Amino acid sequence: MSHDTQTEAGSETLTMYADYVCPFCYLGEASLEQYRERRDEPLAVEWHPFDLQSDQRGPDGELDSTADDGKDEDYYAQAKENIERLQEEYGVEMSLSIATDVDSKNAQQAALYVREAHPEKFATFHEAVFDALWQDERDIGDPDVLADIATELGIDADDLRAAIDADEREAALEERFAEAKQTGVTGVPTFAYEGYAARGAVPPAQLERLVEG
């Protein structure tokens, strides 16, 4: 799923609201790649963080996997069915189907740092974080895992760890989470383009209609 997720000057830009722990976001990335590959013109994509697990966070911001998120066994059974259907439709293999106990906040904070400090490596880092969870079943909430990914890409691991620990960077991430909700985004993935939006891991044809009308 390697594609440029940076905004390119003078090109059209699609915003994708996504959280790394969302399986439909991983599938949505695959659909987006298929759409972009068949376009004649380039399409810049800007990732916007979203906290899918906000309802499960305690007062300290830590994830409480025992908290009631309003989703029962029927919800997860239906979700797994939908994931399996989309995997086949988009030709995506996933080692996991749902990851409920992984906190993606550190990963999203790290990704924002990489986009700012190493923009040329962001798309690769972004993809590697998704793959680490959904292909390799690694805990992307673990700073050690994120540091390993950074090192593989030639990004200083100590700098990345410092970015994860920085209170001001956490506050900036929280602002991005709040911006998403203020914009009206209630779930992910959500694709937004010039005032219009499509929610869910929609097929390439629907992304085409969103962008091209």
Angle between helices 23-38 and 204-212 (to 10 degrees): 60
> What average pLDDT score do residues 106-133 get?
98
**SS3 assignment, position 15:** strand
DSSP-derived pairing of the beta strands 190-193 and 196-199: antiparallel
Are 143 and 161 spatial neighbours (Cβ–Cβ below 8 Å)? yes
Amino acid 10: pLDDT:
41
Are residues 210 and 190 in contact, defined by beta-carbon separation less than 8 angstroms? no
For the stretch 92-116, pLDDT in tens is: 999 999 998 999 999 999 999 999 9
Q: Is the pLDDT of residue 202 over 80?
A: yes
User: In the predicted model, is pLDDT for residue 12 greater than 80?
Assistant: no
pLDDT 10s digits, 57-85: 888 788 876 777 778 889 899 999 999 99
pLDDT of amino acid 129:
98
Tens of pLDDT, residue by residue over 21-60, are 999 999 999 999 999 999 999 999 999 999 999 988 888 7
Given a cut of 50, is residue 9 above it in pLDDT? no
Show the domains of the chain with their CATH numbers.
13-212 (3.40.30.10)
State yes or no: pLDDT of 6 exceeds 50. Answer: no
DSSP, collapsed to helix, strand or coil, labels residue 190 as strand
19 within 8 A of 50, measured Cβ to Cβ: yes
Full-model pTM = 0.92
Q: How confident is the model at residue 120 (pLDDT cuts 50, 70, 90)?
A: very high
Q: For 68-72, 110-114, 142-146, 202-206, which range has the lowest pLDDT when averaged over its residues?
A: 68-72
Residue 7 has pLDDT above 50, yes or no: no
> Does the pLDDT at position 5 exceed 60?
no
Query: What pLDDT, on the 0 to 100 scale, is given for residue 8?
Result: 39
Instruction: Please give the full DSSP string across 95-112, using - where no structure is assigned.
Output: S-S---S---HHHHHHHH
**What's the rounded mean pLDDT across residues 151-177?**
98
pLDDT at 1 over 90: no
